[in-house]
């Protein structure tokens, strides 16, 4: 990592996806939460900044709050420049689509996904100011701010969206 840093590597975007091992396994992500945290901590030690990409809705219906708490717990174990959210999209002709059609996976509702974002915001405790960004095109809501300073504003924005939904 030091060689990469010295060679000019200055930013990575890493798809951690979720803080739950069962969901990582279900989605065939190929790593555990502990492995992801260890690699993130190595990047921190090498002073290589990175953005953490997570996917809300990935745990399915009825799992939003639990997934958000676990994901925040994972992110709280390392320093990241930015937390970027993406909403789960079930694409045709994928294993996940077949699971949905077979009743083995039930996607979370839009309301559940908003609750997941709110719960994530409530539970993230970054050790240094960290951007929270939901402006990816897959997202239901587009908000951005810096934690911890903008936490309450971001939560209010999400809650207003939930009231409208």
> Is 29 a member of any domain?
yes
Task: Kindly report each contact of residues 130-133 with a partner whose C-beta sits within 8 Å and lies 24 or more positions away, as own/partner.
Answer: 130/79, 130/80, 130/81, 130/82, 130/83, 131/81, 131/82, 131/83, 132/82, 132/83, 132/85, 133/82, 133/83, 133/84, 133/85
pLDDT band at 165 (very low <50, low <70, confident <90, very high): low
One-character DSSP codes across 116-159: HHHHHHHH---SS-EEEE--STT-SS--EEEETTTHHHHHHHHH
Domain that holds residue 57: 8-164
**pLDDT score for 141:** 94
pLDDT tens per residue across span 60-77: 999 999 999 999 999 999
> Is 82 a member of any domain?
yes
- Please list, residue by residue across 143-156, b when 16 or more beta carbons sit within 10 angstroms of its beta carbon and e when fewer do: bebebeebbeebbe
> Is 74 a member of any domain?
yes
Q: How many domains does the chain have?
A: 1
- C-alpha of 103 from chain center: 25
> Is 104 a member of any domain?
yes
Q: What's the CATH code of the domain at 27?
A: 3.30.750.200
User: Which of helix, strand or coil describes residue 108?
Assistant: coil
> Is 3 a member of any domain?
no
- 126 has pLDDT over 70: yes
Nearest by Cα to 88 from 23, 145, 35: 23
**pLDDT score for 66:** 98
> Is 155 a member of any domain?
yes
Which tokens belong to 40?
């993130």
pTM of the full structure: 0.93
**pLDDT score for 164:** 55
* Count of beta carbons in the 10 Å neighbourhood of residue 83: 23
pLDDT band at 3 (very low <50, low <70, confident <90, very high): confident
């Amino acid at each position: 990592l030091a060689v990469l840093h010295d060679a000019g590597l200055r930013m990575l975007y890493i798809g951690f996806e979720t803080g739950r091992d069962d969901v990582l396994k279900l989605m065939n992500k190929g790593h555990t939460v502990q492995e992801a945290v260890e690699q993130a901590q190595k990047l921190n030690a090498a002073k290589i900044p990175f953005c953490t990409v997570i996917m809300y809705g990935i745990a399915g219906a009825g799992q939003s709050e639990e997934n958000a708490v676990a994901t925040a717990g994972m992110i709280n174990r390392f320093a990241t420049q930015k937390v970027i959210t993406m909403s789960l999209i079930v694409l045709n002709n994928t294993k996940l689509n077949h699971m949905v059609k077979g009743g083995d996976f039930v996607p979370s509702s839009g309301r559940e996904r908003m609750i997941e974002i709110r719960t994530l915001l409530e539970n993230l405790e970054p050790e240094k100011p960290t951007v929270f960004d939901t402006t990816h095109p897959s997202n239901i809501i587009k908000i951005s701010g810096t934690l911890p300073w903008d936490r309450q504003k971001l939560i209010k924005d999400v809650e207003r969206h939930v009231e409208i939904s």
